[in-house]
Structure 1
Amino acid sequence: MTKGARTVTEDTSVQEVASLMCLYRFSGLPVVEGDKLIGFIAEKDVLAQLFPSVEDAMESMATIDLKDKVGEYKSTLSKKVSDLMTRGAKTVSPDMPVLKAAIIMANNRFRRIPVEENGKLVGMLSLGDIHKAIFHQSLTEG
């Protein structure tokens, strides 16, 4: 896992989150209150604001202007993390077997997941971290 993960708060602007995601290639960020994990905001949460609703798509797909939808991105940037975040995000613990964490991530289609201990965020685990751990283990076992 990566310790000292970059975090945001509920009051952080979506524009700041989008900047971090684009500049540092974060696919998601933990949302904290102090050192307590309260949620998660992912790229899909931000981009989902641009997708037409199912009702709109069924009623008027031919008339949905996708350029206008992309133009709505600016209004999404003015929102706060609390408007888009997932509360009660799934987590793993630091002592969880790496393959169990990988299964949780795969079943939920996550590329990264918060690592929580006693209600506090202690790091982030990525698929890259898991792959590296398995690779090193295979080398040391001969």
Structure 2
Amino acid sequence: MSVASILADKGRDIVTATGDETVADICRVLTEHRIGAILITGSDGRIDGILSERDIVKACAAHGPDALKSKAAELMTRDVITVTPDDAIGTVMERMTSGRFRHMPVLKDGAVIGVISIGDVVKHRIAQAEREAEEMRSYIATA
């Protein structure tokens, strides 16, 4: 199974912000869309970084409420690891686990076509395991 199968199930909605937006504004967007991270993009639409709930919590712990006045560009992770639709689910899980992050943009021909989370990956793997178990039960019942 590949990343494309996850996107086919969850959709390809992409929420972005600019690096000039405040962290408080980003928090409102994250809450409104019920997401855990947001892509920070430049005027050309390319990814400049990603800002996650974890990044915001770390900044608040270090700087208190003033962290919410910071610009997204000040707190975002700049070195964004991405995947392609053809990448295997196992590869994605390995990258997320070793990198200790939970969100990955999906790129095709250099353009963002979606974002997947570890929750999406786990949900997909569970559904796959349940399908396989049902197929085994059906096979055994007909044998």
- TM exceeds 0.5? yes
Q: State the TM-score, normalizing by the size of structure 1.
A: 0.74
Identity of aligned residues (%): 26
Q: State the TM-score, normalizing by the size of structure 2.
A: 0.73
Match of 1:28? 37
> 1:131 & 1:140 partners in 2: Cα distance?
14
Whose helix fraction is larger, Structure 1's or Structure 2's?
A: 2
Does residue 40 of the first structure (1) align with residue 31 of the second (2)? no
Matches within 5 A, 1:1-142: 1=7, 2-33=11-42, 34-52=44-62, 72-73=64-65, 75-141=66-132, 142=135
1:98 partner amino acid = I
Match of 1:62? none
Q: Deviations over 1:87-109 (max 9, x none)?
A: 13111111100111011111122
Contact 2:104–2:116 (8 Å) recurs in 1 = yes
Count of aligned positions: 123
> 2:21 & 2:111 partners in 1: Cα distance?
19
**Unaligned residue ranges in structure 1 (runs of 5+):** 53-68
Say which structure, 1 or 2, has more relative contact order (CA 8 Å, 6+ apart): 1
> 2:56 & 2:83 partners in 1: Cα distance?
24
Q: CA RMSD in A?
A: 2.0
